[in-house]
Chains A and B, each alone.
Chain A
Amino acid sequence: AQSVTQLGSHVSVSEGALVLLRCNYSSSVPPYLFWYVQYPNQGLQLLLKYTSAATLVKGINGFEAEFKKSETSFHLTKPSAHMSDAAEYFCAVSDLGRDKIIFGKGTRLHILP
């Protein structure tokens, strides 16, 4: 079955520092992978998605993620954290039929001044 594992339920970084949120996936077929962000009391917003094209995917708000098949990873990065990046981040994978999306448990990102 398709699944994702997010390492670290909470991550804290200083403003201006590198953001790295880790995600490993399990999939029996080439996966579609996603990162979503959720701000307090809001729904989820798509940051970026990988659908088997370029392995380095650029998203909104300066985020990017790299698909590494050998490591079954899809880690999310941003070179310089901003206070507005504080939110919950979810990694997700499509199911076999690619029409349902399965989410990880999330990582809460805290930005320290």
Chain B
Amino acid sequence: ETGVTQSPTHLIKTRGQQVTLRCSSQSGHNTVSWYQQALGQGPQFIFQYYREEENGRGNFPPRFSGLQFPNYSSELNVNALELDDSALYLCASSLDRGAGELFFGEGSRLTVL
């Protein structure tokens, strides 16, 4: 059984640029959640996708957007990068909405200069 995989693992961008982060969910999981974890903080919920539709969003601006594909993999896109976007971005999949348990990837560490 393949777990949650994320790419890239590390990347460096400059202010104003755009970034796309990718996530492959665990086999059999139809729900993907994205979290932002700033240094020394807990993960903050960005949004969740269920069967290719957005199923809730946290307190993040519209320049954070996402997609989920028919195979349930997902992308997180961030436009107009700001210095405060520097963080570890975590993808988590779950068996279904309300399953109550998240399976996390190892994250993509984004540095914005």
Contacts and interface: CB of A to CB of B under 8 A. Distances in A.
Nearest to A51: B100
A98 B41 contact: no
Interface string A20-64: 000000000000101010000111111001010000000000000
B41 A43 contact: no
B56 A105 contact: no
A43 B43 CA distance: 10
Nearest to B55: A99
Contact of A43 (B4, B40, B44, B50): B4
A99 B31 contact: yes
Given A44-B43, A90-B43, A105-B42, A98 B98 contact: yes
A36 B50 CA distance: 23
B48 interface: yes
Interface in B65-91: 90
Contact of B45 (A32, A42, A90, A102): A102
B106 A43 contact: yes
Interface residues of A, number: 24
A100 B106 contact: no
Interface residues of B, number: 28
A107 to B, nearest CB: 10
Contacts of B101: 34, 46, 49
Contacts of A98: 98, 100
B41 to A, nearest CB: 6
B24 interface: no
| Top 3 A-B residue pairs of the complex, sorted by shortest distance between their CB atoms | A43-B104, A103-B42, A99-B97
Given A46-B101, A104-B42, 5 more contacts: A44-B90, A44-B102, A97-B97, A98-B98, A99-B56
20 contacts: A41-B106, A42-B107, A44-B102, A44-B104, A46-B101, A46-B102, A46-B103, A49-B101, A90-B43, A97-B98, A98-B98, A98-B100, A99-B48, A101-B33, A101-B45, A101-B102, A103-B35, A103-B44, A104-B42, A106-B41
